[in-house]
């Protein structure tokens, strides 16, 4: 297959975008490499497939989709802007110079879209929660520096590609990976954006536009995942008209800095943007933050917490050491496991996928049973919890959970994120430390309805812009602006005795039978019964006391 210039293309059939067409040499030098292909083994929605069985799509197809959206957005924003230039003849040179640079940087933009999630490892965002929402780990083991953000890890991977002299080609031209890195940094970090703004010229303006398309309220990430996640989960909540969005995006001057061009929308496209905003909110409420999906995510995060905390488990399984390497690789370049073993981050990442996690889960029960049976390992609460978590996820057995009321959830999550109430935040963390039990897991998530920044212009006056939330025709953005949505659960194996709470909803689980194999091994290895009831009572009692204490915490 070739285009009008004779460049050979490859087409990938996709349920969201039809055919994704990209140059053959881009496949040969990037897409068809082990580094990129590993994304086939990283599920987009982590453990959500345990609730939505068809949600098994991966970061691979999402990244291809993001590249397709990037290609289409840049093509359409240039075409749409050219149609408007005759209305702003005095600005024609500035617009045309930026559009020319944007067109020249299309290969770098597409590669940046392909690589925007390259830093994701096992279970996608779930693995990033290790030191973020599992607050008990922060207080129990200390806030050790860990490489948790996929954005940072992704930029480090691009840097490794640069240092190794890796060559990525697009239609016969070598892609400038330094520019790709620069764009990704500007997409995620304000300091990098300020560096480009301080030396604003058409090329740097084009880089800032691409960075905006990587991460903003109108970006290629959301352009793909809202539709793809809804399709794969089998829900219609995230539906919006992407083709209509292509028709209404244009270059507009920034509201504060008229010399800076950004991607905005024509006022006739307000409805499509707001339908995307609503679709994303609905997806968060019903899919991303589904309570059972959060429950299994919490269990997976605690497994990762324990692996990182317990140095003495490093030799328990090969997979445990590999996962530890991936987290520690970015902590300190001069003192990390990967460097000691001569491994590059790209090499380590190839080993840390969903398959690694599930292989570890399958091995954990039998390995612990074997060592306990032979009397070769000390059995403590942490090890029992690791065993029970692995068995529970593999058999999809649900632990008990307490779901916080909306009011309580907002209060507690706000305490964690508060910059003004540092004393309240510390009291919150201290409380979690005081009531720590390896089988009691506090897990939460927060998302923002709309953060602002979308610029809207009239076709008749394209240089006069207003913020979406300030436009008279806006309904959804005004309502969502500045609103935070939260959900918080407290997870533990089984509820023992009568538990009653004012602002928690209790849903009981039953998993004690999953400890039968461990009990038998313990009796054989140590000649006495495993105190299963004591362990379960301890977890339940700790969870109950913690729940009551959390209820009584004062509001900020």
Full residue range of the structural domain in which residue 493 is found = 436-445+452-548
| Encoded tokens for 96 | 């045309």
Total count of domains within the chain = 2
Residue 493's nearest CA partner among 448, 534, 552, 450 is 534
Maximum distance among all Cα pairs of the chain, rounded to whole angstroms: 89
Could you tell me which residues are beta bridge partners of residue 444? 488
168 and 23 co-located in one domain? yes
User: What is the spatial distance between Cα 30 and Cα 177, in angstroms, rounded to a whole number?
Assistant: 12
Per the domain annotation, does 388 fall within a domain?
Answer: no
Q: What are phi and psi of 108, to 5 degrees?
A: -65, -35
Report pLDDT digits (tens) over 171-188: 999 999 999 999 999 999
| Encoded tokens for 26 | 């881009």
Per the domain annotation, does 189 fall within a domain?
Answer: yes
| Encoded tokens for 468 | 């979406």
Element (H, E) at 213: helix 202-214
Residue 154's nearest CA partner among 128, 126, 193 is 128
Report pLDDT digits (tens) over 184-211: 999 999 999 999 999 999 999 999 999 9
Residues in the chain with pLDDT < 70?
1-5, 88-91, 131-148, 329-342, 556
Residue 192 Cα distances to 26, 74, 548, angstroms = 27, 22, 45
Residue 175 neighbours by CB distance under 10 Å:
24
From 291, 314, 332, the end of a domain falls on: 332
Per the domain annotation, does 110 fall within a domain?
Answer: yes
DSSP for 176-187 reads -HHHHHHHHHHH
Per the domain annotation, does 184 fall within a domain?
Answer: yes
Q: Look at residue 401 in the predicted model and tell me its pLDDT.
A: 98
Per the domain annotation, does 535 fall within a domain?
Answer: yes
Q: What are phi and psi of 441, to 5 degrees?
A: -125, 120
Per the domain annotation, does 544 fall within a domain?
Answer: yes
193 and 44 co-located in one domain? yes
CATH number reported for the structural domain that contains residue 225 in this entry: 1.10.3210.10
Per the domain annotation, does 70 fall within a domain?
Answer: yes
135 and 264 co-located in one domain? yes
Q: Look at residue 400 in the predicted model and tell me its pLDDT.
A: 98
Per the domain annotation, does 340 fall within a domain?
Answer: no
Check: CB of residue 177 under 8 Å from CB of residue 166: yes
From 291, 311, 332, the end of a domain falls on: 332
Q: Look at residue 241 in the predicted model and tell me its pLDDT.
A: 97
From 289, 314, 332, the end of a domain falls on: 332
464 and 315 co-located in one domain? no
66 and 194 co-located in one domain? yes
Q: Which residue has the tokens 């039953």?
A: 510
174 and 319 co-located in one domain? yes
Strands 261-266 and 455-457: parallel
């Amino acid at each position: 297959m070739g285009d009008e210039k004779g460049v050979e293309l490859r087409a990938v059939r996709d349920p969201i975008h039809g055919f994704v067409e990209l140059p053959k040499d881009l496949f040969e030098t990037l897409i068809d490499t082990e580094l990129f292909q590993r994304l086939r083994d990283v599920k987009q929605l982590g453990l959500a497939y345990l609730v939505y069985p068809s949600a098994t799509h991966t970061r691979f197809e999402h990244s291809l989709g993001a590249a397709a959206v990037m290609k289409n957005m840049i093509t359409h924003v240039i075409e749409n802007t050219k149609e408007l230039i005759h209305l702003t003849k005095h600005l024609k040179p500035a617009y045309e110079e930026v559009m020319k640079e944007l067109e020249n940087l299309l290969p770098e933009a597409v590669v940046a879209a392909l690589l925007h999630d390259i830093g994701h490892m096992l279970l996608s965002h779930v693995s990033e929660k290790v030191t973020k929402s599992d607050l008990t780990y922060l207080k129990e083991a200390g806030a050790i520096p860990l490489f948790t953000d996929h954005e940072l890890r992704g930029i480090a991977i691009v840097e490794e590609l640069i240092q190794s002299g890796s060559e990525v080609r697009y239609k016969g031209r070598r892609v400038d990976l330094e520019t790709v890195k620069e764009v990704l940094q500007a997409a995620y970090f304000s300091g990098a954006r300020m560096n480009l703004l301080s030396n604003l010229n058409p090329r740097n303006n084009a880089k800032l536009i691409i960075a905006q398309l990587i991460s903003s309220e109108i970006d290629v990430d959301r352009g793909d995942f809202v539709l793809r996640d809804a399709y794969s989960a089998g829900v219609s909540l995230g539906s919006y008209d992407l083709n209509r969005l292509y028709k209404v995006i244009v270059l507009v001057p920034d509201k504060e800095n008229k010399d800076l061009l950004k991607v905005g929308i024509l006022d006739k496209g307000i409805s499509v943007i707001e339908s995307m905003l609503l679709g994303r909110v609905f997806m968060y409420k019903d899919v991303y933050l589904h309570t059972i999906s959060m429950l299994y995510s919490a269990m997976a995060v605690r497994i990762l917490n324990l692996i990182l905390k317990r140095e003495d488990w490093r030799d328990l399984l090969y997979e445990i050491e590999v996962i530890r390497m991936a987290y520690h690789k970015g902590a300190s370049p001069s003192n990390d496991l990967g460097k000691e073993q001569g491994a590059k981050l790209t090499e380590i990442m190839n080993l840390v996928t969903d398959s690694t996690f599930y292989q570890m889960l399958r091995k954990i029960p039998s390995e612990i049973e074997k060592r306990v049976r032979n009397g070769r390992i000390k059995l403590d609460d942490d090890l029992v919890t690791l065993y029970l978590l692995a068995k529970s996820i593999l058999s999809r057995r649900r632990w008990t959970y307490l779901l916080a009321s909306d009011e309580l959830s907002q209060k507690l999550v706000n305490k964690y994120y508060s910059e003004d109430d540092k004393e309240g935040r510390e009291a919150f963390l201290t409380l979690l430390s005081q009531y720590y039990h390896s089988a009691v897991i506090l897990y939460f998530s927060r998302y923002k309805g709309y953060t602002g920044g979308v610029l809207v212009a009239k076709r008749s006056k394209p240089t006069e812009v207003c913020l979406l939330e300030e436009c008279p025709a806006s309904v959804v953005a005004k309502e969502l602006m500045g609103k935070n949505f939260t959900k918080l659960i407290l997870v533990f194996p089984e509820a023992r005795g009568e538990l009653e709470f004012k602002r928690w909803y209790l849903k009981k689980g039953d998993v004690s039978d999953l400890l039968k194999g461990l009990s038998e091994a313990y009796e054989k290895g140590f000649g006495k019964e495993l105190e299963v009831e004591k362990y379960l009572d301890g977890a339940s009692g700790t969870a109950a006391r913690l729940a009551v204490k959390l209820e009584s915490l004062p509001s900020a």
